[in-house]
Each structure stands twice: as C-alpha cells, then as structure tokens.
Amino acid sequence: MTGITGLRAHQQKLDVVANNLANMNTVGFKQQSTVFSDMLYQQLRSGSEGDANSGGINPKAIGSGVKVAQITRNFNQGALETTSQPFDYAMNGEGFFVLSSPVGGQDVYTRAGAFGVDSEGRLVDPGTGFLVQRIGDMGEGINGGLQFQTAGDDSIRVPIGETISGAVTELMQINGNLPANASEPIAGVISLSAPLEVGAVAATGADTLASLDISTVAYVPGDTIEFSGTNPDGTAFAGSVAADTATVQDLVDSINAAVTDATAALLADGTISLTSDNTGENLMSITLTDGVANTGLSNFGAVGFIETIEGYNGDSFELISEVVGPQGEAHELALLFTKDTPNTWTVTANIDPSVGTMVDDTVGSLTFNEDGSFNFAGGLGTDDANLVVLFNGSSVNQTVSMDLSSLSHYASAYNVNVDQDGIPAGVITTVNVTTRGELMGIASNGRIVPVAQLAVANFDNVRGLVAEGDNYYTRGLASGEPMVGSGETGGRGQIIGGQLEQSNVDIAQEFTQLIIAQRGFSANARTITVSDEVLEELTNIVR
C-alpha cells in the first residue's frame, strides 16, 4: 500500500511537470509545483516518560505512505515579448485583466492579454469571446468628453474608424523675429533734371516764367505754358498757365490743382519736385511744353522731369498658417508682415475667396522698442488684434485672436512661425494603452481622446485562485474578493501595450523535477516488486 501511494504521488508530480512543459509557450502561464506530505502512521508502541529508575521509551510508528499535499502556482513575473499588435497587452507586475462571459456575465481573470476586436467593435478575447471589462466613466461623454462607451455596460467598445469633431481656430500665437534691418517703404519722387534759374541764380516762387534763363523768345499776351502727365495710379492730368505773367509758384500751384495723390513743390535750389502721397511703386510723370500758338519759346527739354527717388513698398514676409473653420475643415490663411516705419509693421491676412471672405483682414500696427523688444504699451496699436473670417457655408463670422507679443525685432534674419489651436475633424485610426490601462484613441488629425479605462484586479491570495483553463482563473474561497482598479494603483502593475507576458516555466528546473519524479516513481515501484518477492517466499515456506 505504501509503495502504491508513492507511485500515485510521483505520477501526479509527473503530470504537473508535464503540464508545465506542455505550457512552456502559453501566454501568461504560471508554473506549478507539487509539495508532498506523509500520510497517517500506525502506532506500534507508545512512548513513555523516564523516571528516577528507568529511562524514557520513544514511540514506534510505521507510515502508510505519501500524498500530494499542495500543487502550488508560481506567480512570478514572466518575460515580456514584443508583438507590435495594437491590442496585445502585457501585465508587468501584480494584477489580472478582468473579462466577462458574454453569456451569464461570469467574471474571469487572466494574465494573457492577447485581445482583439469583434464584429461589434468590442474588445474581446478572440479565443473564447469573453469581453474585456472596464471601470469608471472614461469614454462615457462625461464633462463634455466624447462618448464611446455606454453607462452601465462594462464592456469596451473600440471606436476605430469613428469620426471625431475638431475645434475651430480661436487663437494664433505668432513667435519669432521680424528683421529690424528690413527696408522701409519709400514714396517716389520725380524732379526737374536741372534747376530753374534767373541770371544763373536759383529761381524763387515770385520769379516769372518769362524771366527764366531757359526762355529763348519773349512771351506775349496769350502765350501759355502747358503741362501734362500721369498720376501715381497711372491716370492722366493736364493744365496750363499764362506764359507772360505766371510765376514759378503759379506753375507749382496749377500742377497741385491738377494732380491727384501727389504733391508738387519748389525746392530751394530752383527745382520743382513731384512727390507721391503714398509709398510704393507709382507711374508718375510730367512734361512742360509751350502752347502750340505761342510766340515766345522756352527750352524745357533742358530741365525735363526725371525720377530722383524710386518708390517702393516696405519689405514684406508671408507666413502661411492653417485655420480650422466651423465644420472642422482646415484651410490656408496667409499672413503678410509689411515694414511701415523703422519700428512698426502692419499685419494683414488673406484667404482664398473660394473658401471664405476676410471680414477684418488687418491686425493693426506692430510697434517695437528701440532695443528690439515688443512694445506692450502700443505693440498692437489701438486696433483690435483680431482677424474675422466668414467661411463659405457659414452664416456666423469666426473671430481669430492674434497673440504677437512673442515677436522680436532684431537685426537678424526673418524667422517667424505660428501655432494655432484649431483641430480639423478626423477619424480614430488606432488605440494605444497607457501604463495605467487608459485606452487613448489616436485620430488622423493628431487629436488624442480617452476611450476607456481597463479594469485590473488583484487578490490578497493569488494562489487561492481557481484555474479554469483558457488562461482563465476564477475567484476561489481562499483567494479573497477581487480588488479592481486601474494599473499602477493599489499595488497593481503596469499595462504594456504591444507586448505579451510569456510563460514563466523554467525548462532546466522542470527537467530536473522530471528526473526526480522519475526516480521517485522507480524507487516506489521497486518497493512493490520487493514486497511481491517477499510474499512469494512466504508462499513457498507454506508449501
């Protein structure tokens, strides 16, 4: 009988070792080991206490064999293997994933996080169809968040491919440097190529045109001096003065009366100039001639008007920014920075007319201090620092606030960039998991949205769990109640995405245990063989 118990116990030990080796590549498997204990003893003699006259007697007992007292499970951490699969999760540390049967709702616990998404979009164990469970209200649309989960349903819906709204652009933060050495705008000037003189002395406004040195034949009453040309915008102007009586100032005044967007003046050196009222390129020109019926003549060709200062706009730099409209659509907005004065710039905006209309396209005048820092006192002028856009298809103007206070004005290269808070609409393309077990949806527009919080369970006595197969455990009487929470809290471990925990079976140790079990089995078989031989000898004695 004793040998039989030894055979049975070592056979069970062999079964445990064989099961360990069979599951050496099972995800999340935990190695088991057997613990033996001896069985009841047959007392052949009781012990006695010694006295002054005799010594004590030890008891005599014969054991009845061996039994398997425990089959314990080693819950030490297994190695983590990278799989790069989006729904493979490894538990690094203590804890179990919580799953529920789709039929009956029984909770089971597992270390094997090889999950997938079913046809209903739920996170499941593809091998059994059990539903991965969540805790808390993450993903239920609380406090203005996006709703992916249903309150009261602890299964997890994975919203791959779901469209999420964006956010309109409300603020643009402009950073960088506007070059202080950029050119300022200049107004164009045309002037006589030579001064008007009387007796080789610069003419004054009171001198008559007839007295000028360029006059070659004396004027008579009825003679005229005519002028014609183009305004800065290219439109024509013309006029005339009486050649025999008009003064130089009369000619200047007549030109001013005829020209638009420009100003004529007599300079101290005797030249007449015509200056554009606006900066930038212009088409100004003017020609002086004698009237066709004149008796008198002047050599106006010797003092013809020429360009003395070329007009041009201040240096400008364009910055293209994305702006998000009310329907989540992203468009390009062009910002133009133009130098106005040594320390001021103007910012204007433009958008493609097929997209919308700029209701207010000017930010105002940027003012900088002499040291190149932003002038907060008058940095944005008296105008508001907003742009207003009416996007096509919308009836409401969209205001975009501009923060330009981070700009500098140093004599270095142009280097300006923009950050805007708009987010275009997008779709969720993947779901990542944090170490706390938070599932975060990653959208095509770069937006990250909370989806759900994985439930992680721990137990006071994990060795009291009941193994059910399929990598599942259920709560046992000895395990205690599950303590469910998030990862990295309450002693629960980390959740690692894109990895799986491997079996913690040690092959070398199992082979050693296999040899020990085999020898134990063989030794106990030998006791049965010897017992059989002794019985045979007894039988022979009777004969």
Calpha distance 429→431 (Å, rounded) = 7
Q: Please check whether residue 531 is in contact with residue 524, taking contact to mean a CB–CB distance below 8 angstroms.
A: no
Phi, psi of 295 (to 5 degrees): -90, -45
Pairing of strands 398-408, 171-177: parallel
Which of 185, 176, 403, 447 has the alpha carbon at shortest distance from 314? 185
- The residues, ordered by sequence, that sit 6+ positions from 143 with a Cβ below 8 Å of its Cβ are none
Torsion of CA 469, 471, 475, 479, to 10 degrees: 110
pTM above 0.75, yes or no: no
Residue for token digits 């006029």? 239
**How would you write the pLDDT of the chain (543 residues) with one tens digit per residue?**
677 887 888 888 899 999 999 999 999 999 999 998 888 888 888 888 888 888 888 888 887 888 888 999 999 999 999 998 999 999 999 999 999 998 877 899 999 999 999 999 999 999 999 999 999 999 998 887 889 999 999 999 999 999 888 889 999 999 999 999 999 999 999 999 999 999 999 999 999 999 999 999 999 999 999 999 999 999 999 999 999 999 999 999 999 999 999 999 999 999 999 999 998 889 999 999 999 999 999 999 999 999 999 998 889 999 999 999 988 888 999 999 999 889 999 899 999 999 999 999 988 788 899 999 988 665 444 456 789 999 998 899 999 998 988 999 999 999 999 999 988 888 999 999 999 999 999 998 888 999 999 999 999 999 999 999 999 999 999 999 999 999 999 999 999 999 999 999 999 998 998 898 888 788 877 777 877 677 777 787 866
Q: Where in the chain is the domain with CATH 2.60.98.20?
A: 171-183+314-420
| Architecture of the structural domain at 171-183+314-420 | Sandwich (2.60)
State the pLDDT at residue 381. Answer: 42
How large is the angle between the packed helices 507-542 and 2-22, nearest 10 degrees? 160
CA 430 to chain CA centroid, Å, is 14
What does the angle CA 92 – CA 95 – CA 97 come to, to the nearest 5 degrees?
A: 95
DSSP state of 357: E
Residues 168-194: tens digit of each pLDDT = 999 999 999 999 999 999 999 999 999
